[in-house]
Amino acid sequence: MLRVGGVVPPPARPIELRDRHSTGIGHASRLVLDPAERSNPHLPATVAPPREGFPLLVTPAPGAPQEGGRLEAWACAAREVIEAELRTHGAILFRGLPIHTAEDCSAFRAALGYPVMSGSSGVNERPEYAENVFGASEGTPHTHTLHLHNEQAYLAPDDSPSYPRKIFFFSLRPADDGGQTPLLLNRDFERALGELPSRFAASGGVRYNHHLSDLRAVERQEAAGADVLAGVDLSDVETKRLSGGDTRNNPSTSLSLGDGSGEGEEGDEENLLQMHGMSETDIHSLLASLRAQPPSATRDAAIDEAVRRAWAERRANTWQARLGASSRAEAEAACRAQGMGVEWSEDGSLSMFTKTSAFVEVGEGQSPVWFSQ
């Protein structure tokens, strides 16, 4: 049913890497604007093209139904390939399967029969498009590149929950520009790190921290009329383009401001502000840009909406919202269930932490491999 092997064509043009903004995992490092930090000399100028066997290309065999057939049958054939080839090649690219919607992806994944992890770990919230099908880093601007990382490496390798052993990506709609998912074999990465892995091993591992505010403190600030941008480092916020900006790859950040005359506008109410799916950093950026615009009724209404959304995002990033807890005891129980320790601050905020080895065992007779977030 499936043909294994073949040549994965290189992209139409090299994928720039070194000179793109390098985006960290977490709000504090989302946007780095300092030109001196924009280009990372340690990164290659472009992403290497596919090489033989990485990723392994798998397509429908000649004579197989190109459209149709039960997804369960395709999944059964795909699992056989995964079990036989994934450990050898590190990544498999399935092309040409009859998977066109998030629901198709969900049905295919379920038919593979692998156990699933929760879409939420209290660290990053993702929209769920179908059962166990989640958006991938949608708050990252298309001009930025996410740091290479092992998914949920902060979860211990031998505890419950643990990090995912397999990750499936599905392209629902290809990006107009960018959108690629660079892959790197951990062994290759470890060799490039030189002595760093041994230094981590000698220090006893890696500690991961995640800070969550107290909902009650956020609500008190909002009720007191505090400035939602107070304490936000605006030097770490990218200024969004307003009308006329290029929003092809992130239409949710588009903004249209009218001059009050109605000319060239199809109703200010419909064009005020489209912020669905924007990250907290995006909203802060947009709000700062709005405040710099000349006063107008449209601009003021857009500011009010941005402030409302910003406070909503602030409330969503509290330990009560992320952990589904109403008390410290419930929060601590939720953290323990995720294998994380807890530290409380005087202001009621919570720091979740976990300490793991910088390496994981990958198989009998093989040395441990570097594994970090």
Query: Which tokens is 31 given?
Result: 């946007």
- Which pLDDT score, from 0 to 100, does residue 361 have? 79
Provide CB contacts within 8 A for 354, sequence distance 6+.
154, 155, 156, 207, 208, 339, 340, 341
Q: Which residues of 252-281 are buried (b: 16+ CB within 10 A; e: fewer)?
A: ebbbbbbeeeeeebeebeebbbebeebbbb
- Which pLDDT score, from 0 to 100, does residue 265 have? 37
pTM, to two decimals: 0.69
- Is the backbone peptide bond immediately before 161 cis, with ω within 30 degrees of 0? yes
pLDDT tens for each residue of the chain, 373 residues long: 899 998 898 888 888 776 666 555 443 344 444 545 555 666 678 888 898 899 999 999 988 776 556 889 999 999 999 999 998 999 999 999 999 999 999 999 999 999 887 655 545 567 788 998 988 776 666 666 777 788 888 776 666 667 888 999 998 888 777 777 888 888 888 887 788 777 877 777 788 888 899 999 999 999 999 988 887 765 544 443 333 333 333 333 334 343 333 333 333 333 344 444 456 666 777 788 888 888 888 888 888 888 888 898 889 889 999 899 999 999 999 988 877 899 999 999 999 988 887 888 777 777 888 888 7
- Which pLDDT score, from 0 to 100, does residue 69 have? 63
Main-chain dihedrals φ then ψ at residue 369, nearest 5 degrees = -115, 145
Q: Tell me the C-alpha distance between 253 and 246, whole Å.
A: 10
- Which pLDDT score, from 0 to 100, does residue 122 have? 47
Cβ atoms 308, 205 nearer than 8 A: no
Over residues 57-68, the pLDDT tens digits come to 999 998 877 655
- Which pLDDT score, from 0 to 100, does residue 271 have? 34
- Which pLDDT score, from 0 to 100, does residue 140 have? 65
Cβ atoms 315, 321 nearer than 8 A: yes
Q: Tell me the C-alpha distance between 103 and 108, whole Å.
A: 9
Provide CB contacts within 8 A for 261, sequence distance 6+.
none
DSSP class of 44: -
Q: Tell me the C-alpha distance between 98 and 104, whole Å.
A: 8
| Distinct helix (H) and strand (E) counts, the chain | 11, 12
Cβ atoms 371, 205 nearer than 8 A: no
- Rounding to the nearest 10 degrees, give the CA dihedral for residues 315, 321, 323, 325: 120
Helices (H), the chain: 35-38, 71-89, 102-112, 186-192, 196-203, 215-223, 268-271, 280-291, 297-316, 319-323, 328-337
